[in-house]
Amino acid sequence: MTGGEVAGILVAVFWAILVSFLAVVLVRLAQTLRATTRLVADVTEQAVPLLAEASSAVRSAQTQLDRVDAIASDVQEVTSNASALSTTVASTFGGPLVKVAAFGYGVRRALGRKGEDAPPEDTRRTVIVGRTVPGARRKKRKG
């Protein structure tokens, strides 16, 4: 055998080894692709029902939000009606009630002073640290 034939045999052997390694790699790659395909199919089978349930939940939440919106608008209307009623009652009865209360206070004061025409004895005021204190409080403080 000549040197060229030996070199040709060596190249053929290395080539066969290379092709064998490539064949193993391609077989492994095919297995990985099959497993990936199965995984994607399984995920798709599980994801479709989950998406349907999520869509149903979103629809239900939207329905509930619509109901809450209707309730809130009704509450706002009731609040404005109550405010208007309160204003009406205050303006209708408030003035006369204040006048009756003032009249009653005046009558009480007039009846209370009927026997005492003289003013009270101690009407002086005392100034304590920049504040005016009526005589009644001054007596309480001393005691």
Give per-residue burial for 44-75: e unless 16+ CB within 10 Å, then b.
Answer: eeeeeeeeeeeeeeeeeeeeeeeeeeeeeeee
pLDDT (mean) for 59-72: 95
Average pLDDT over residues 124-140: 57
CA atoms of 39 and 37, how far apart (whole Å): 5
Q: pLDDT digit string (tens) for 76-117?
A: 999 999 999 988 888 887 788 888 888 889 888 888 876 565
Q: Are 140 and 126 in contact (CB under 8 A)?
A: no
Whether the per-residue pLDDT at 130 is higher than 80: the answer is: no
Residue 74's pLDDT band, with cuts at 50, 70 and 90, is very high
Residues 4-53: pLDDT tens digits? Answer: 899 999 999 999 999 999 999 999 999 999 999 999 999 999 998 999 99
Is the CB of residue 133 less than 8 Å from the CB of residue 126?
yes
- Is the pLDDT assigned to residue 1 strictly greater than 90? no
Confidence of residue 131 (pLDDT cuts 50, 70, 90): low
Bridge pairing between strands 125-128 and 131-134: antiparallel
C-alpha–C-alpha distance, residues 86 and 19, integer Å: 95
Segment 61-66 shows an average pLDDT of 96
Q: pTM of the full predicted structure?
A: 0.41
The candidate with the shortest Cα–Cα distance to 38, out of 48, 46, 50, is 46
